[in-house]
Amino acid sequence: MKLITRSAIALVFLLGLATPLLAANPDVAVRISPPSGTCFTVSLRNLGAPVTVQLADLSVYDPKTCKRICFSEMKLGKPLNPCNSMTFKICCQAHLVGYICRVRVRHTNGINEQWYY
């Protein structure tokens, strides 16, 4: 009985330590290119199982005040197979001078994001 209990505790402990490692392997890699005007080009590449990319949102922040100056959403709803990529443009109507931006992508396996500054 002691052997079974200790083995079960060791297994639970091992699973608990291994779970955060899943975050190190994102399902969808997100890359942001420098803006052309007020639009950013975003490239997505699927690194795992097939996913459906549902939504992408862009937030632009002023680095001096740390306030969000622009927010834009884009509904995609497109499937993305393993090792395939997708490119799209997402625009912001704010004047982009000295900015920090974040693109967050929601898909069927969770959320991935990328910062650009």
Given a cut of 70, is residue 65 above it in pLDDT? Answer: yes
Predicted pLDDT at 48: 81
- Rounded mean pLDDT of 17-31? 65
Predicted pLDDT at 20: 55
CB 70 within 8 Å of CB 105: no
Closest-CA residue to 104 (of 73, 70, 82): 73
Predicted pLDDT at 9: 83
Q: What is the DSSP letter of 37?
A: T
Which tokens belong to 26? 């994102």
| Domains of the chain, earliest start first | 26-116 (2.60.40.150)
Predicted pLDDT at 43: 92
Q: How does pLDDT run across 74-105, given as a tens digit for each residue? A: 998 888 888 889 999 988 887 777 788 899 99
Query: At 113, which amino acid appears?
Result: E
By CB atoms closer than 10 A (0-12, 13-18, 19+), residue 38 is middle
Residues 6+ apart with CB under 8 A from 86: 43, 44, 45, 53, 76, 78, 80
Predicted pLDDT at 25: 52
Given a cut of 60, is residue 58 above it in pLDDT? Answer: yes
Predicted pLDDT at 26: 62
Predicted pLDDT at 98: 78
Which tokens belong to 31? 């890359």
- Rounded mean pLDDT of 46-66? 87
CB 116 within 8 Å of CB 59: no
